[in-house]
Amino acid sequence: MKFNRAGVATSATKLARSVDVHDRSIGFNYLIEENVGDLRRDHVEAFEMGTDEVREVVKAYFDGTIQGVSRGHRSTTFDITVNSDALLPATVDPNQKIIRLERIDRVLSKDPSLSFARVHAAKASGDAVTLQAFVDLFSTYPGERPSFSAFKSEVADDLKATDWLNRLIDRMGLYHFYPFDSSQKYSFALMEYTAKDVLAQARLKGIDRPFAVATVLECQDNPAFFPVPKGAAFGFTVDLRERVPPRPNVREILHMRYDYSWKNVSTLAQWGGTAEPDIGASRDRHLVTLRRDTGRPDFGNITP
């Protein structure tokens, strides 16, 4: 991503040269991003002129145009006039099963009557009223922040394992769930739906292409995000653990905010967490497989 504003470009380069692995990862992401076209780049740079700090510029753009402050906001992520480089075609297989893992502690705190135990029991008994009350809590968050998700088929083997939850957190690169306090229990809900479900809601909102490759603009300060080369059909998640033998990368898609039905609640579980992964080593491993899988052995070759 080549910034025109010299101050913003300098800020991104400074981050990429940092000795701090998080800052360095974020700066590196800005410099190697290929799926933000010139028009969208110009849109970003013109949105916040009060600072040249790249993270502040992008955060302002994210808050104002990607997420927005209210429901019904038209996210620029799915605006073909500014983000055509990252939008996926409207030919995504409608029958593809999609999963998304939600950490639900904050969600449940919005309604003290909906404890984890109650929602878990509702899932076991098929209590649609309680489950719908639970998923309705997600709609209380403002804005139209796009959702990161994966195809169920990519992690089918992990879902069959007894330790599926921590496998999923790590294979899907959900680094923002760390760090964990080993004295606490954390609650999660695995949500499942289809591309057809997303397309149906998109039509109601007048969105023709509700799927996209995620870019650094949607991911901002997440060191576990890694851009993909221009033209890649999908993004790929950064596996936070080394696999022996190696496992294939999990394809990642970004789609418009999706309003859950109670039927989308697949599994509920609690977990005490584990040691924080080495994000630098995870990114190094990921770059090797990303270059191989996309046929771009030069991708990421930069000297900040």
Give the Cα-Cα-Cα angle 236, 242, 243 (nearest 5 degrees): 90
Q: Is the pLDDT assigned to residue 106 strictly greater than 90? A: yes
Average pLDDT, integer, range 277-290: 96
Tell the residue number behind the tokens 């993004």, with chain if given.
Answer: 235
Which pLDDT value is given to residue 39?
Answer: 95
Average pLDDT, integer, range 80-103: 93
Q: Is the pLDDT assigned to residue 92 strictly greater than 90? A: no
Q: Is the pLDDT assigned to residue 220 strictly greater than 90? A: no
Distance from C-alpha of 114 to C-alpha of 105, rounded to nearest angstrom:
11
Which pLDDT value is given to residue 15?
Answer: 97
Distance from C-alpha of 18 to C-alpha of 134, rounded to nearest angstrom:
42
Crossing angle (nearest 10°) for helices 38-47 and 54-61: 100
Peptide bond into 179 cis (omega under 30): yes
Q: pLDDT: is 63 or 246 the higher one?
A: 63
How many other CB atoms are found less than 10 A from the CB of residue 128?
13
State the DSSP H helix or E strand holding residue 103, giving kind and residue range, or none if neither: strand 97-103
Query: Cα-Cα-Cα-Cα dihedral of 26, 138, 193, 105, to 10°?
Result: 70
Which pLDDT value is given to residue 247?
Answer: 87
Q: Is the pLDDT assigned to residue 142 strictly greater than 90? A: no
> What are the residue boundaries of the structural domains of the chain, listed by start?
1-304
Average pLDDT, integer, range 20-32: 97
Confidence of residue 182 (pLDDT cuts 50, 70, 90): confident
Both tokens of 211, joined, read 């799927």
List pLDDT tens digits, range 164-176: 999 999 999 999 9
Residue 174: partners with Cβ closer than 8 Å, 6 or more residues away:
101, 168, 224, 240
Confidence of residue 30 (pLDDT cuts 50, 70, 90): very high
* 212 φ, ψ (degrees, to nearest 5): -150, 160
Confidence of residue 90 (pLDDT cuts 50, 70, 90): confident
Confidence of residue 248 (pLDDT cuts 50, 70, 90): confident
Which pLDDT value is given to residue 86?
Answer: 95
Confidence of residue 12 (pLDDT cuts 50, 70, 90): very high
